[in-house]
């Protein structure tokens, strides 16, 4: 899966009961797992003894979990709950009807790819150690939202600020369209111009 070498393969089914036992899940979250997930399989383990890459300072292993879905969607609370229950970095591959989507958490934020057909899809597992491999994967999966270079945590924080500004701009644009008073429109457009300039600065 994802072009990984055979030396990394585990292919072990993870019982949902184990997830319940290890994760702090509400009753509703457990019901969501039952209703939305068909199965969870531990597909690969990337460690210094399975790939020719040294362990990192913070990333000792990267696990690849395939999560087979009953529908082409998963409630946003599920993956963070599973991730908290497992003391390693996880690359989640959601699968449904011959398609897949990759999810990954970095600095407290989850990023994902678009849905794609499994055949021929691969990620580049590159880096001098597993810290670098993980950061490179995060940048690929984010679809360009994280800077290509520099500190990954700072890149995530900039992206959070960018998303916040994008939401504020979208809300303000709607408000401008609804506003009837000219003076108020001028005021809102001035604020809109300021937010757009701030966003442009973050994107520079």
Average of pLDDT values for 46-72? 94
Task: Assess whether pLDDT exceeds 70 at residue 22.
Answer: no
pLDDT per position as a tens digit, 112-169: 999 998 776 778 888 999 999 999 999 999 988 897 778 899 999 999 999 999 999 9
pLDDT per position as a tens digit, 75-126: 988 898 888 878 889 999 999 988 999 999 999 899 999 999 877 677 888 8
Question: What is the average pLDDT value for the chain, to the nearest integer?
Answer: 89
The predicted model scores a pTM of: 0.85
> d(Cα 148, Cα 102) in Å, to the nearest integer?
19
DSSP code string of 80-135: HHHHHHSSSEEEEEEEETTEEEEEEEETTEEEEPPPEESTT-------SBHHHHHH
Task: Assess whether pLDDT exceeds 80 at residue 69.
Answer: yes
Task: Assess whether pLDDT exceeds 90 at residue 15.
Answer: no
- Domain extent listing, the chain: 6-146, 153-203
Output the pLDDT for position 120.
65
């Amino acid at each position: 899966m994802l072009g990984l070498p055979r030396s990394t393969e585990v292919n072990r089914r993870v019982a949902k009961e184990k997830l319940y036992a290890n994760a702090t899940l509400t009753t509703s979250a457990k019901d969501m797992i039952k209703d939305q997930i068909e199965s969870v399989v531990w597909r690969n383990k990337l460690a210094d003894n399975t790939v020719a890459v040294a362990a990192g300072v913070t990333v000792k292993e990267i696990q690849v979990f395939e999560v087979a879905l009953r529908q082409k969607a998963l409630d946003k609370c599920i993956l963070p709950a599973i991730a908290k229950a497992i003391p390693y970095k996880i690359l989640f591959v959601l699968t449904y009807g011959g398609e897949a989507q990759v999810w990954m958490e970095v600095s407290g934020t989850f990023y994902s790819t678009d849905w794609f057909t499994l055949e021929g899809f691969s990620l580049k597992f590159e880096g001098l150690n597993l810290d670098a491999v993980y950061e490179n994967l995060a940048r690929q999966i984010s679809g360009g939202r994280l800077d290509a270079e520099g500190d990954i945590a700072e890149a995530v924080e900039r992206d959070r600020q960018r998303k916040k500004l994008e939401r504020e701009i979208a809300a303000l644009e709607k408000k401008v369209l609804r506003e009837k008073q000219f003076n108020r429109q001028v005021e809102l457009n001035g604020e809109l111009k300021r937010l757009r300039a701030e966003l442009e600065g973050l994107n520079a």
